[in-house]
Amino acid sequence: MSHSEHRSLGRTGIQVPTLTFGGNVFGWTVDQKTSFSLLDALVEKGLYFIDTADVYSRWAPGNQGGESETIIGNWLKQSGKRDKIVLATKVGIEMGPGKKGLAPAYIRQAVEDSLRRLQTDTIDLYQAHRDDQETPLQATLETFDALIKEGKVRAIGASNYSAERLSEALKISGEQGLARYETLQPEYNLYDREEYESGLEQVAEEHGLGVINYYSLASGFLSGKYRTKEDASKSKRGDGVVEKYLNKRGLQILAALDQVAEANSATPTQVALAWQIARPSITAPIVSVTSLSQLDELTKAASLTLSEEDIRALSEASSY
């Protein structure tokens, strides 16, 4: 194991590395064979916290959802490494007609489907992928609570909840003696700071939640590969990235990343992730790669410690 720092995932009792690996690439931009080699390497490097969702990667042509879980399940069966990883998945985003949301009967169906695809008896962290305003929070929490008592799930988390709804859910859990959301999965990175910092962060800190943020590299923008409009052609999502991030503030952030990267003999990607890891409320940013060489870059990000001066320079450049 090359990466030694571990953190408590909120109050779950589960220890995780300082980076979470995003399993959205499995069965989408990487095939099963490459996925297996990435998963083996992740365990070897001590980056054993894998986050996926039932809906990954339903958006890809020819897919119907469940591809990522299926590949992870096949790898678990072949490798026998279930006890070497912390496995997180999610429920709630539409999987087909009538298959979405957080109503009790649907969660029951979805968890069985996920367990079957993952070829495991227990999910370490089961997350509500998106708030379902049509289902009472208490009904959802009662179902999750039952799944924990049955041993199918170890802990539960919330993704894409507003600060108000997350607070309300935590209050209901406390009042009703139900399992509570122990983690939060929000969008957060050097560019997209405001929503998390202006409300969700306070809720997370107040309640001791583990935070595993997604889009930690702003869809690749913070790696520095999109610096001009022409760079949009570098990937399928390039147009959207350039449109959203390539502006005065975005370029200011890239300049600060370049400067701090040079001072630390690191890359902008490593610095962008290290800045997040250094934030007291963040447990382990989620990041994905599609090759073993990219994985080496991530491993170094997990062990990069920025100075207070570095952190301040990045925070100022990205202020909103």
Q: Which residues are catalytic?
A: 56
Strands (E), the chain: 6-8, 15-17, 20-22, 49-51, 86-91, 123-128, 153-159, 181-185, 210-211, 286-287
Beta pairing, strands 20-22 & 286-287: parallel
277 Ramachandran zone, left/alpha/beta (phi>0; psi -120 to 50): alpha
Q: Which of 184, 193, 189 is nearest to 160 (CA)?
A: 184
182 Ramachandran zone, left/alpha/beta (phi>0; psi -120 to 50): alpha
Report whether 148 contacts 154 (CB < 8 A).
yes
Report whether 272 contacts 261 (CB < 8 A).
no
DSSP 166: H
- Token digits for 262? 């040079």
Report whether 185 contacts 195 (CB < 8 A).
no
